[in-house]
């Protein structure tokens, strides 16, 4: 029972539009200049800004929707009267921004209930949930939902390090089991029980290693999405602090 505009933070929508068009290296060299360049371009071309921008995945326009996502948003929100045609819809700035806000609301609604509840708790909790939403905008909600319990570790590299460690251990156990199984064929009655015990112990250990490895692999965000959030953190901080020509999008 709230308007989309009352639920989705405008700074979130603005930040995503910026990072869709901001070059990684340019942001690292001079974040302020890069972000301001985006807003100046937007202000100077209010009806046509970034109409020409199309990715290799056919993501188009200011908010970089792909056809399938746009089609889904149009179908789910008949009350918004979005332009049905993808190309026309993405090249109409007001229409594109409306679709973006509606999609962000869909992403928020797809997150777990306890996470959605955090969105209204305080500024810090809301910022964290908006990071989840931004990651899902780039990489989809399925993987993001799995990554939430490990969120802080994603940025320190701890998750990737643990995945590598578990993978090495799994490979070692699998190789040992294979070797010992071959040895059983020619083992004497005296050594056979010892080999069987080693195989059983290795299988038991791997039964704990493999599920943990699978869980972490399924929850780890793609490098592209981690980079996306890294850019988001820089850009949203500037917009929140009023350090940009942000009025161009108001």
pLDDT digits (tens, 9 = 90+) for 40-90: 999 898 788 898 889 988 999 999 999 999 999 999 999 999 999 999 999
Q: What's the pLDDT at 229? A: 93
Q: Tell me the pTM.
A: 0.81
* 92-to-10, 51, 86, 141, 198 alpha-carbon distances in Å: 18, 8, 10, 26, 67
Taking 70 as the pLDDT cut, the residues of the chain under it are 243-250
Measured CA to CA, the distance from residue 173 to residue 44 in angstroms comes to 62
* 100-to-15, 30, 120, 134, 156 alpha-carbon distances in Å: 12, 27, 21, 11, 30
Measured CA to CA, the distance from residue 148 to residue 131 in angstroms comes to 10
Which tokens sit at 156? Answer: 């320190």
* 226-to-134, 193, 197, 221 alpha-carbon distances in Å: 10, 49, 43, 6
Q: What's the pLDDT at 248? A: 46
Q: What's the pLDDT at 243? A: 66
Beta bridge partners of 91: none
């Amino acid at each position: 029972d709230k308007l989309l505009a009352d639920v989705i933070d405008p700074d979130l929508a603005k930040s995503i539009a910026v990072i869709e068009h901001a070059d990684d290296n340019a942001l690292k060299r001079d974040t302020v200049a890069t972000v301001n360049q985006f807003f100046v371009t937007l202000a100077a071309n209010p009806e046509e800004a970034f109409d020409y921008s199309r990715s290799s995945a056919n993501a188009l326009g200011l908010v970089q929707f792909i056809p399938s996502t746009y089609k889904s948003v149009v179908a789910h929100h008949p009350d918004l009267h979005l332009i049905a045609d993808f190309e026309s819809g993405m090249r109409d700035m007001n229409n594109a921004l409306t679709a973006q806000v509606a999609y962000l609301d869909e992403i928020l609604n797809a997150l777990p209930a306890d996470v959605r509840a955090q969105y209204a708790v305080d500024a810090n909790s809301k910022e964290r949930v908006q990071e989840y939403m931004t990651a899902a905008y780039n990489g989809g909600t399925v993987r993001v939902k799995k990554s939430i319990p490990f969120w802080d570790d994603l940025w320190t590299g701890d998750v990737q390090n643990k995945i590598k460690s578990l993978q090495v251990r799994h490979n070692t156990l699998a190789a040992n089991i294979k070797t010992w199984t071959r040895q059983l064929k020619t083992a004497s009655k005296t050594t056979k029980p010892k080999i069987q015990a080693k195989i059983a112990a290795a299988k038991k250990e791997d039964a704990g290693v493999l599920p943990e490895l699978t869980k972490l692999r399924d929850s780890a965000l793609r490098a592209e999405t981690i980079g996306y959030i890294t850019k988001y953190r820089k850009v949203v901080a500037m917009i929140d602090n009023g350090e940009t020509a942000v009025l161009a999008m108001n």
